[in-house]
Structure 1
Amino acid sequence: MSQPAAATGPTAADEVVDICRDLIRIDTSNYGDNEGPGERAAAEYTAGLLSDVGLDPVLYESSPGRANVVVRLPGADPSRPALVLHGHLDVVPARAEDWTVDPFAGHEDETLLWGRGAVDMKDMDAMILSVVRQMAREGRRPARDVVVAMFADEEAGGTYGARWSVDHRPELFEGATEAISEVGGFSVEVGGRRAYLLQTAEKGLSWLRLVAGGRAGHGSQVTPDNAVTHLAEAVARIGRHSWPLQLTPTVRALLEGVADLTGLPFDEEDEAGIDALVAALGSAGRFVGATLRHTSNPSQLTAGYKANVIPGEAVGVVDGRFLPGHEDEFRATIAELAGPHVRIEHVHHDVALEAPTSGALVDAMTDALLAEDPGAAVLPYTLSGGTDNKSLSLLGITGYGFAPLRLPADLDFAGMFHGVDERVSTDALRFGTRVLDRLLATC
């Protein structure tokens, strides 16, 4: 890689912590159902940072206060397909009384920046913005066109963010074939060696409403057709169902890599051995362990209004996550477990994704990481949750998770997502800017 031109202002590493802190201090809590403060203030701050260095961002709302920002950076080779580099501006809510510090104060100690969004995902937003600003100040172009997008509403499925943008502003992503976003590129310790988990797949999402009908009546009567009983039995069957182990290509590649690093055996038929490989990933095993099979977790129940009145309807909600390539069998099994007395409705559904674990972009991400951390390993993995890459996939864009962070070995990174006392290493933020800068120059 050629050496960058001399900087004419602060570098990305100089700015990234301040930008992340500023974003954390803008409360963008997403309560779902289009409730909350919205992302407008954060979008205006973001657009201002881009405008300050001579870029021309587009800021648009999908609903009052639900703002998105997109800007295109011309590449050195405009004939190549564009890359989308995207983040989301919203965060899940946080209750101040549960935290050690104010979750929206952007508290910084000697090594860590605390606050809601510190890892999900205002850290990556700040890394993107600081790198783009440095490139613009220095007059450097990325290797190809890069579309930078900061979306609203990711934490509630992207209805007012990425999905709305894909449906109503697809021209902003014209010519793009690949995308990079959150929950990948972070480090873990495996077998005494640092490894970075590159997200190449994510499970599909199926939030289901179970509606059980029955005969309403007096609570003292014999009522075999009881809606609450029908629902309770269905919820118990679904919640207790033991989904079989199914190793998708990405999960298999990850486990083979962990086996190489640790010397542990890998046998697809040995569930105990697979569990040992997952445990070797430390806290990141919580992400990985949920990608070995489908999951179906009951999360809500509603029925009745008085102790002596048998309701005619009872409702439950299940959070289902299915493996890439196996949605049909997941749906069929859920229907069988629900039984004949329960109607299934879709609350929210989104696709599963599985991208190639090799190729030019994967090689570029790997090279950028190893240039900053020689001797580390890079392994693919599947995310048990979901990202805005799901929405972009509707435009034929292949998405990866790559928010590069070299983390302290004792930081429970997986526990930071949607957790209490969310925090990120400030050194990791600076590391990420260096990796992203290398990546945009070469990919």
Structure 2
Amino acid sequence: MALPTTTARGQITSVLALDPQQAPADDTDDQGGRAGAADEETATPDDHPDDDHDQEDQDEDRGQGDEETDAAPGTASSSTTPLLRFSLPRDPGSVALFLRTHVLRPDSEVWLTGYNVLRGWVREHGHAQVPSGATVELGDDDTFGLGSWVARQRQLFKSGALRPWRADLLTEIGMVWSVTDAAFWRAVSVARRAFEAYGTLALPRSLVIDGVNIGQTLTNYRRPGGLGTDPVRADERRRALEAIDPEWNPAWPADWQRHYAAARDLLSEEQGATSAADILPGITVHGSDVGAWLTRQTDPAVWAGLLPEQRKRLEALGLTPLPAAPAKKTATAGAFERGVRALEQYKARTGTLTVPRSHIETVVIDGEEHFVKLGVFLANSKTRRAKLTADKLTQLAALGLEWAA
């Protein structure tokens, strides 16, 4: 089968995709297009009883000066593996027939059919990423399974069984050897555009650009093994993403990185902000309240939970944690102290430790008035005496409570 090309003068000449070496008889890498198609055996003198006539045709053609046949250096004689040289444009059909019957067959009609159909697909669709179930009408009710043929070429290429010259021809027209790779590099292209808009690749998971859910895609890439199990390919992909954003996969949550990048941009010279104090709660970037986020980072408890690298970035923005609030006495210690003070006051006033359960004693401690349910305090202390510390029991025993001794 001949593939037409155009010369510098606009003439149509023939380009034959011939294997540089003689093809083996069992050529199994051409299947996957039309069902029932099979390769032809390489023609030899023994295959054609009309070899004498064939030789005369070759001699006649040589006399015309259009084609020449010579023995290939270091190979079999010219009678078995002649070479053709074209000096003038020839009819593709005639050349293909000559090669099939006199010299060498086209290396696979099925493969060349698939190649031509794929070229037509590329011209029509602008790409060579063919769906697995795609078919193409060839005419005369003949259908070619282009999707399965392309899938077969990928399998052969991956296993190293696809002939180099075929791989070169397919690569030249944009063959997508790995669908996964094609999806990744498309994601990289979209990620580059997203970075220009957001200043970070820590994007919202719901972000979709040109039909690509780039937010979720990058989230998947950050997961362990998300860039693939092949270490070489994974490293190549990682470097491609780092070339866009060195912090595309930080050691902290992507949500934190996204807010930090927004705050950093707001504080840049181009934005005109002078300090983090200028960014108040309610100031949003891409729907995120950056002001509230900055205020939250200065909380001592939040600051203490950050990694050193996170604190370093916040300090570069001019943020420092707020002073820690003074520690408060525990509720249990304060309640016991008030109960003891109320019991002392009640005993001094009444001369007894018998307190009605509903009695409430008012005491003043450090200038602050407290209303102590003294009856409940005594009942609870007696019930829980086994859990009271020795110091607390000593204080109660000093007041005259026998059960505390």
Tell me the TM-score normalised to structure 1 length. 0.19
Tell me the TM-score normalised to structure 2 length. 0.21
Query: Which structure is larger by alpha-carbon Rg, 1 or 2?
Result: 2
Q: Which has the higher helix share?
A: 2
